[in-house]
Amino acid sequence: MQKYIFACIFLLLTAFSFAQVQTGKASFYADKFEGRRTASGVKYHHNKPTAAHRHLPFGTKVRVTNLANNKTTVVEINDRGPFVSGRIIDLSKSSAQKLGYIGLGVTDVAIEVIGGDNDAIADVSTPTDADNEETATSNPDAAVAQVEPLEFYELNINKVEPDWFGVQIGSFQELANLIRLADNLKASYQKDVIVQVKVIQDIKVYTLVVGKFKARDKAEKFRDKISKQYPGSFIVDFSQFQ
């Protein structure tokens, strides 16, 4: 069986707040929903920058970043869902096309709240949102270069072959965001954090997994404990990779 590369990351710095950022999987609306009423009462149209989220208020503007290719887009929440484990947002088809995952069906994303009901998408968007395709292709590590010069981390890295259960928090292409979140998770929950290195569409993606649980029920209890802060988290059974 194909072996996966993991690294144990031990970090001892100040926690970093991700209260307005969630990571998980994004899907998109099927064509059959065109013209149907959403939970907000507005009709769904595939060419509009809209999305469904389980609890964000209607009208909330969020920036969605595809962690596999670093493409971004801004959408407005006007529906409820998706009600599938591990998925945190359901995008309109045109928004999914901008993020480049129509052929895959789902992708790992990070979503960030950037505006409310009174904000227009054009007002909260940035040039990065409009030019993300060129930026992601020409310089996928551009965001890493923007890390503050006085931001330092001490890492102890070891290659491991896990045979336990863990709780996956999210996936990242940008190493700076991954390191910050790993630091926050270890400091907050006092549990080991490992990184799984994946290749998606010839792009390396780094997935954060928390905990070394010998029994699935213990992993489930931990997932339930952190579900409010990390609603897209789910169980990973590493024994299947052996």
Asked whether residue 86 falls in the same domain as residue 175, the answer is: no
CATH number for the domain spanning 174: value is 3.30.70.1070
Asked whether residue 67 falls in the same domain as residue 128, the answer is: yes
Q: Please identify, among 109, 138, 167, the residue that sits at the C-terminal boundary of a domain.
A: 138
Q: Is residue 143 a part of any domain in this protein?
A: no
Asked whether residue 122 falls in the same domain as residue 155, the answer is: no
Asked whether residue 155 falls in the same domain as residue 75, the answer is: no
Asked whether residue 13 falls in the same domain as residue 31, the answer is: no
41 has a pLDDT exceeding 70: yes
More reliable by pLDDT, 57 or 138: 57
Asked whether residue 182 falls in the same domain as residue 223, the answer is: yes
Average predicted confidence (pLDDT) for the chain: 78
Asked whether residue 88 falls in the same domain as residue 62, the answer is: yes
The whole domain housing 101 covers 21-138
Buried b (16+ CB within 10 A) or exposed e, 71-105: bbbbbbbbbbbbeeebbbbbbbbbbbebbbbeeee
Q: Is residue 200 a part of any domain in this protein?
A: yes
CA 25 to CA 233: how far, in whole Å? 9
Q: Is residue 181 a part of any domain in this protein?
A: yes
Q: What average pLDDT does this structure show over 134-160?
A: 54
pLDDT tens digits for range 52-81: 999 999 999 999 998 878 889 999 999 999
Asked whether residue 31 falls in the same domain as residue 14, the answer is: no
144 has a pLDDT exceeding 80: no
Q: The pTM is what?
A: 0.51
Which of 91-100, 125-134, 178-187, 192-201 is least confident? 125-134
Asked whether residue 14 falls in the same domain as residue 31, the answer is: no
Q: Please identify, among 95, 119, 138, the residue that sits at the C-terminal boundary of a domain.
A: 138
The structure tokens listed for 19 are 């209260």
Asked whether residue 25 falls in the same domain as residue 126, the answer is: yes
CATH number for the domain spanning 78: value is 2.40.40.10
Residue 151 binned pLDDT confidence (cut-offs 50, 70, 90) = low
Q: Please identify, among 138, 171, 203, the residue that sits at the C-terminal boundary of a domain.
A: 138
Q: Is residue 144 a part of any domain in this protein?
A: no
Q: Is residue 25 a part of any domain in this protein?
A: yes
Q: Is residue 105 a part of any domain in this protein?
A: yes
The structure tokens listed for 151 are 């931001």
Residue 38 binned pLDDT confidence (cut-offs 50, 70, 90) = very high
Predicted local confidence at residue 201, as pLDDT: 55
Asked whether residue 62 falls in the same domain as residue 112, the answer is: yes
How many folded domains does the chain comprise? 2
Asked whether residue 177 falls in the same domain as residue 237, the answer is: yes
Q: Is residue 168 a part of any domain in this protein?
A: yes
